[in-house]
């Protein structure tokens, strides 16, 4: 099979951390061709999506002293780079990192030129457009903490005063960027809201603060709506955010019954929207985010649990493609 990965430049990826690299390695180890491109290399020609694709060969990471270690030259890109229709691929992984800005959205429109009956796109471009990683969680009543979305300073202030403490999140943020802890008595509260909403021009999400955040922000990986692994991210020092990008410590964890219930609630909706590979964040038994653009965490889960989630994902693609071809035949 042929796998295409739409990713950020390879030189910027961290092989011992990035899930995209783990997926590419898994595809290669299972005997498939691995090709790479970037969102700005997409075109629509004759109503079909094309891309400048480069064949990639990877040197897999290894566990050394309890951590992943990569070779200095961990990838090779074959030349020449070829313009090819993405329907020539068996599967396309859209793994460009946020922010979900105008160029990102345009890339999803370009990906609409792939016939889903011929090539599996993970995740569906329509699903990516529908699933803002903050707003998407609002539809799962009972699973999320008390939440508002507003750009109105008075509305936000009233919510914070009612709850005593809250967490403000930019709707387009990533890796914990721009997340603020708000307290009712803070004299800077108005200024923080004004800065975050750009003087009332951009809505933000505000959630009641969950004290359990000190115990960790759990990332659960879902494949076709079903949980396949989890990792706990624990804040360090004076930081209230557990994101790995801001220094959160990772720890082995288990998925609780409450968290399984949340996954079951999400499963049919994710399947409906073509969101096959997803990372959800749960704090204190509450769903806080649904990450669909380039969810990460499988390197850390693999290390703690002695598994290969990348291979599970690729094997699922193999079966899914086999099922589709059988239905066509």
* Catalytic-labelled residue, pool 259, 291, 300, 302: 291
Structure tokens at 127: 């699903």
* Catalytic-labelled residue, pool 18, 133, 281, 300: 281
* Catalytic-labelled residue, pool 134, 163, 218, 299: 134
Q: Is 169 a catalytic residue?
A: yes
* Catalytic-labelled residue, pool 2, 163, 218, 219: 219
Kindly write down the DSSP assignment for every residue of 45-82, as one continuous string. ETTEEEEEEEEEEE---EEETTEEE--SS-EEE-SS-E
State the CB neighbour count (10 A cutoff) for residue 268. Answer: 10
Beta pairing, strands 217-223 & 277-283: antiparallel
Q: How far apart are CA 276 and CA 316, in angstroms?
A: 10
Q: How far apart are CA 54 and CA 52, in angstroms?
A: 7
Backbone angles phi, psi at 55, to 5 degrees: -70, 135
Query: Angle CA(48)–CA(49)–CA(55) in degrees, nearest 5?
Result: 135
Query: Angle CA(58)–CA(62)–CA(68) in degrees, nearest 5?
Result: 105
Q: How far apart are CA 212 and CA 318, in angstroms?
A: 39
Q: Is 311 a catalytic residue?
A: no
Q: Is 67 a catalytic residue?
A: no
Q: Is 12 a catalytic residue?
A: no
* Catalytic-labelled residue, pool 169, 232, 300, 302: 169
* Catalytic-labelled residue, pool 217, 289, 300, 302: 289
Backbone angles phi, psi at 213, to 5 degrees: -60, -25
Per the listing, tokens 């990713």 go with 7
Q: Is 272 a catalytic residue?
A: no
Q: Is 233 a catalytic residue?
A: yes
Q: Is 241 a catalytic residue?
A: yes
Q: Is 101 a catalytic residue?
A: no
Orientation of helix 298-305 relative to helix 309-328, angle to 10°? 110
* Catalytic-labelled residue, pool 2, 218, 233, 299: 233
* Catalytic-labelled residue, pool 163, 241, 299, 302: 241
Q: Which residues are catalytic?
A: 134, 169, 219, 233, 241, 281, 289, 291
């Amino acid at each position: 099979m042929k796998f295409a990965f739409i990713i950020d430049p390879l030189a910027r990826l961290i092989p011992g951390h990035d899930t995209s690299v783990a997926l590419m390695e898994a595809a290669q180890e299972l005997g498939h061709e691995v090709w790479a491109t970037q969102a700005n290399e997409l075109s629509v020609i004759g109503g079909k999506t094309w891309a400048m694709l480069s064949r990639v060969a990877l040197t897999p990471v290894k566990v050394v002293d309890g951590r992943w270690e990569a070779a200095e030259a961990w990838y090779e890109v074959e030349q020449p780079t070829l313009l090819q229709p993405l329907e020539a691929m068996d599967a396309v992984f859209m793994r460009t990192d946020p922010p979900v800005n105008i160029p990102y959205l345009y890339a999803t429109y370009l990906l609409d030129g792939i016939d889903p009956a011929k090539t599996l796109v993970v995740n569906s471009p329509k699903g990516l457009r529908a699933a803002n990683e903050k707003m998407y969680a609002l539809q799962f009543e009972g699973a999320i903490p008390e939440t508002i979305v507003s750009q109105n300073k008075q509305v936000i202030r009233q919510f914070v005063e009612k709850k005593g403490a809250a967490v403000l999140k930019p709707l387009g943020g990533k890796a914990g960027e721009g997340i603020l802890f708000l307290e009712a008595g803070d004299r800077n509260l108005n200024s923080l809201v004004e800065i975050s909403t750009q003087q009332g021009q951009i809505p933000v999400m505000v959630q009641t603060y969950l004290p359990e955040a000190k115990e960790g922000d759990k990332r659960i990986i879902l494949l076709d709506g079903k949980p396949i692994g989890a990792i706990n991210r624990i804040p360090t020092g004076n930081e209230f955010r557990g994101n790995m990008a801001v220094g959160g410590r990772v720890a082995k964890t288990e998925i609780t019954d409450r968290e399984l219930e949340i996954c079951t609630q999400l499963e049919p909706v994710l399947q409906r929207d073509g969101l096959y590979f997803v990372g959800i964040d749960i704090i204190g038994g509450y769903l806080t985010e649904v990450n669909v653009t380039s969810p990460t965490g499988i390197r850390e889960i693999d290390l703690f649990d002695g598994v290969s989630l990348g291979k599970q994902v690729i094997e699922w693609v193999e079966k899914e493609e086999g099922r589709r071809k059988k239905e066509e035949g």
